[in-house]
Amino acid sequence: MTVVDNPASLTRKDPGRHADRLFWALCVSAGLAVLLILGLILASMLQQSLPALTKEFFTSSTWVPNDPDEAGPLTPHFGSLTFLFGTVIVSLIALVVAVPVSLGIALFLTELAPRRVRSTVVLLVDMLAAVPSVVFGLWGIIVVAPALVPVYEWLHDTLGGIPVLGSLFGETVSSGRNFMTAGLIVAVMIIPIITSISREVFATVPSSDKQAAYALGATRWEMIKGAVLPHSFGGVVGAVILGLGRAMGETIAVALVVGSAVQITPNLLASGYALPAVIVNTFGEASGDLRAALIGMGVVLFILTVGVNLLARVVVRRAEIRMKGAPA
Amino acid sequence: MSVVTANRPAAAAPAPLDLRRSSLPLRRRLVDNLSKVLMTMTLLVALVPLGLVVYYVIAKGGSIISWDFLTGDIPRSARRAGGGMGPAIAGTLVITGTAALLAVPLGVLGAIYLNEYGKQRPLARFIRTMADVMTGVPSIVMGLFILVVWVLTVKEKSAFAGALALACLMLPVIIRSTEEMLRLVPDELRQASAALGARRWKTTLSVVLPAAISGIVSGVMLAIARAAGETAPIVVVVGITYETNWSLFGLNTALPAQIFNNATEPYPAAELRAWGAALTLMVIVLLFTVIARLISSRFAIKER
């Protein structure tokens, strides 16, 4: 039998307690690093962009970053409205395409697919998320954009005469680099995130709800419509908002395929620009006011995406509470 | 009993309900089948682009891949054929490796705070939410941030600046995935260790972390794979070079930036180089992803 030589040693304040404090401090500071970085992003970028954040920056769509003929009468104008417009349009197109597709895949995975098919499909959708965005951009600019030109021309010919639709499908750019192509490419890139979150949401639907629907004689689709969709509405909205956040921040693929034209037009088949794209394309030679304006766009983008993400969290959390009856 | 049965005439028994699927009204059956077809079709809509991208990258990039391409210097003129991606591969490895060295310890420690100390306290919940929000910050914003706080201060674009930006992108991903893994470690292990007299830090480092290590490593690998493909911060803070630079300082380049630069050039040689670089990058990313999956499936902690 082991005898504790000195019972006091069991409660002694050993030097290990300092190590404990130190380790705790290390961990807390690592956690605080997240807050520090986010705070620094906002503070440092705001400070650098302050000279550019004038009224014109938010209300004007005139973008003349440098004086074209040196001593001419033209002064630089830094209105960022065009780029904000482009970002919104491209994100909306991406959502319109990606949401039904993602929900379809998620429903297929949770309600339709046999177990073995399911894991393969999950793997494939994950692979879609693993493809670097620049590779999608390369594929978009070299393969997709030219290939879609005939499709766009056909769209323009058939729908161009109809009053409202006609303005959406106006003259096509011959390179195929336009809002529509950018939106489609971004759609492919946000499908994985919307799919994976809505799949998780659909998986939380209680099987008793589903059984009840079947017991009432519902077909599979009626069961989905009556039990799965209403139950997961909140979570799906959250997933869509998260997808929107991702779409707004997408830089490289959009920079390659959107066409780099500074214009606000309802024509989805015309070239345009987007906030992240103009930053990455123009930054190389930027200094002074132009650099401040570009960093200002970064601030706008940061605030937009953080706001959208926070909103998504709130929506998902509220949906979770409603579903489980307690915060997860 | 027998009286009751005798009183019920056999002829009045209701005809058994027809519960076969074919007895459903035609419209309900059609809608049901249509929905199934549509759900399966959406799958194709997503997988066709994946297949096409992979096909094009292999078909167009495969022809240029050779030892010379993987090690040769980048031609100074995009128009010229030949040359390779050596400097970009070196740059990708240096930048992503350094980013991992910066982000992994910080991320794992942060996750330990969240799961072992913070739990549901207000500060921990706030950090958790902010980490989630930080995963949504676009990579271009991280690039601009590092440009403002580092590049404009030291007045030099470098691989180190790129690594800082990628580390900022990886940090929240590592924190959240590691925390998920730590949460799966059963509390009995911690209690057993504490009962043996181990201090909390000792318990965490020698019992909790080893139990979760496979999941942590696979999360880290996925974060690295994601970071290796990031383009925007590299373009903004790393600069451009044509010769291999293994150093953390001085101008550098990386595969994604080379794909971006070459994709916009109208010359066939540049386009070919872009596809070659894309294939190289995809192989690197795939390698990390596959390793991550292997680790997580071979050594996974069983969820309880």
Higher pLDDT: A15 or A123? It is A123
Collapse the DSSP code of A96 into the 3-class scheme (helix H, G, I; strand E, B; otherwise coil) and give the result.
Answer: helix
- Inter-chain Cβ pairs, chain A and chain B, closer than 8 A: 271
- Residue A323: band (very low, low, confident or very high) from pLDDT cuts 50, 70, 90: low
Q: By C-alpha distance, which of B230, B95, B40 is closest to A252?
A: B230
| Residue A259 dihedral angles phi and psi, to the nearest 5° | 100, -10
Is B15 at the interface with chain A, CB within 8 A? no
- Residue contact A256–B140, C-beta within 8 A: no
Per-residue burial over B49-71, b = 16 or more CB atoms within 10 Å of its CB, e = otherwise: bbeebbebbbebbeebbeeebee
Is residue A65 packed enough to be buried (19+ CB in 10 Å), middle (13-18) or exposed (0-12)? Answer: middle
Distance, CA of A11 to CA of A13 (rounded, Å): 6
Please give the DSSP secondary-structure letter assigned to residue A68: T
Evaluate the CA torsion angle B275, B276, B280, B286 in order and state its sign: positive
- Residue B241: band (very low, low, confident or very high) from pLDDT cuts 50, 70, 90: confident
Distance, CA of B93 to CA of B100 (rounded, Å): 10
Which chain A positions have a beta carbon within 8 Å of B114's beta carbon? 31
Evaluate the CA torsion angle B205, B209, B211, B214 in order and state its sign: negative
Distance, CA of B251 to CA of B260 (rounded, Å): 17
Q: By C-alpha distance, which of B165, B129, B124 is closest to A309?
A: B129
Instruction: Give the residue-averaged pLDDT of B54-61.
Output: 93
Residue A326: what pLDDT?
A: 44
Among A34, A258, A302, most B C-beta atoms within 10 A, so best to mutate, is A34
Q: How many other C-beta atoms can be found within 10 angstroms of the C-beta atom of residue A318?
A: 15
How large is the greatest C-alpha to C-alpha distance in chain B, in angstroms? 105
- Residue contact B57–A139, C-beta within 8 A: yes
- Residue contact A45–B145, C-beta within 8 A: yes
Residue B1: what pLDDT?
A: 44
Q: What is the ipTM of this complex?
A: 0.87
Angle formed by the axes of helices A229-249 and A81-107, to 10°? 140
Is B138 at the interface with chain A, CB within 8 A? yes
Task: Show the CA angle centred on residue B73, arms to residues B71 and B76, nearest 5°.
Answer: 160
For A328, name the nearest residue in chain B, comparing CA atoms only.
B120
Which chain A positions have a beta carbon within 8 Å of B23's beta carbon? none
Q: What share of chain A is helix, strand, coil (3-state, %, to 5)?
A: 75, 0, 25
Per-residue burial over B139-171, b = 16 or more CB atoms within 10 Å of its CB, e = otherwise: bbbbbbbbbbbbbeeeeebbbbbbbbbbbbbbb
Is A322 at the interface with chain B, CB within 8 A? no
Distance, CA of A227 to CA of A241 (rounded, Å): 23
Which chain B positions have a beta carbon within 8 Å of A16's beta carbon? 199, 202
| Stretch among A70-74, B158-162, B216-220 having the lowest mean pLDDT | A70-74
For B141, name the nearest residue in chain A, comparing CA atoms only.
A298
Nearest neighbour of A221 by CB, restricted to B32, B109, B168: B32
- Residue contact A219–B31, C-beta within 8 A: yes
Nearest neighbour of B281 by CB, restricted to A107, A135, A245: A135
Distance from CA of B5 to the nearest CA of A (A): 30
Is residue A143 packed enough to be buried (19+ CB in 10 Å), middle (13-18) or exposed (0-12)? Answer: middle
Distance, CA of B151 to CA of B259 (rounded, Å): 23
Instruction: Give the residue-averaged pLDDT of B148-166.
Output: 92
Collapse the DSSP code of A77 into the 3-class scheme (helix H, G, I; strand E, B; otherwise coil) and give the result.
Answer: strand
| Stretch among A25-34, A56-65, A276-285, A289-298 having the lowest mean pLDDT | A56-65
Higher pLDDT: B84 or B192? It is B192
Distance, CA of B110 to CA of B107 (rounded, Å): 5
CB A279 within 8 A of CB A294: yes
Beta-bridged to residue A272, according to DSSP, are: A259
Beta-bridged to residue A259, according to DSSP, are: A272
Distance from CA of A313 to the nearest CA of B (A): 8
Instruction: Give the residue-averaged pLDDT of B11-36.
Output: 79
Beta-bridged to residue A279, according to DSSP, are: none
- Residue contact A302–B137, C-beta within 8 A: yes
Distance, CA of A141 to CA of B107 (rounded, Å): 36
Distance, CA of A91 to CA of A247 (rounded, Å): 5
3-state secondary structure B100-117: HHHHHHHHHHHHHHHHHH
Residue B1 corresponds to which tokens in the numbers above?
A: 């009993």
- Residue contact B39–A20, C-beta within 8 A: no
pLDDT digits (tens, 9 = 90+) for B134-151: 999 999 999 999 999 999
For A34, name the nearest residue in chain B, comparing CA atoms only.
B131
For A20, name the nearest residue in chain B, comparing CA atoms only.
B201
Residue A69: what pLDDT?
A: 55
- Residue contact A135–B38, C-beta within 8 A: no
Among A20, A27, A90, A194, most B C-beta atoms within 10 A, so best to mutate, is A27
Instruction: Give the residue-averaged pLDDT of B146-169.
Output: 92
- Residue contact B110–A33, C-beta within 8 A: yes
For B29, name the nearest residue in chain A, comparing CA atoms only.
A219
CB A242 within 8 A of CB A125: no
Q: By C-alpha distance, which of B22, B20, B32, B136 is closest to A107?
A: B32
| Start-to-end C-alpha separation, chain B | 53
Q: Look at residue B187 and tell me whether its pLDDT is greater than 50.
A: yes
For A112, name the nearest residue in chain B, comparing CA atoms only.
B36
Residue A8: what pLDDT?
A: 61
Give percent of chain A with pLDDT exceeding 70: 90
Q: Give B133-166 as a DSSP string.
A: HHHTS-HHHHHHHHIIIIIHHHT---HHHHHHHH
- Residue B304: band (very low, low, confident or very high) from pLDDT cuts 50, 70, 90: very low
Evaluate the CA torsion angle A58, A61, A66, A71 in order and state its sign: negative
Distance from CA of A73 to the nearest CA of B (A): 31
Residue A188: what pLDDT?
A: 94
Distance, CA of B146 to CA of B148 (rounded, Å): 5
Residue B175: what pLDDT?
A: 95
Residue B167: what pLDDT?
A: 96
For B287, name the nearest residue in chain A, comparing CA atoms only.
A130
CB neighbours of A76 closer than 8 A, spacing ≥ 6? A64, A65, A66, A67, A289, A290
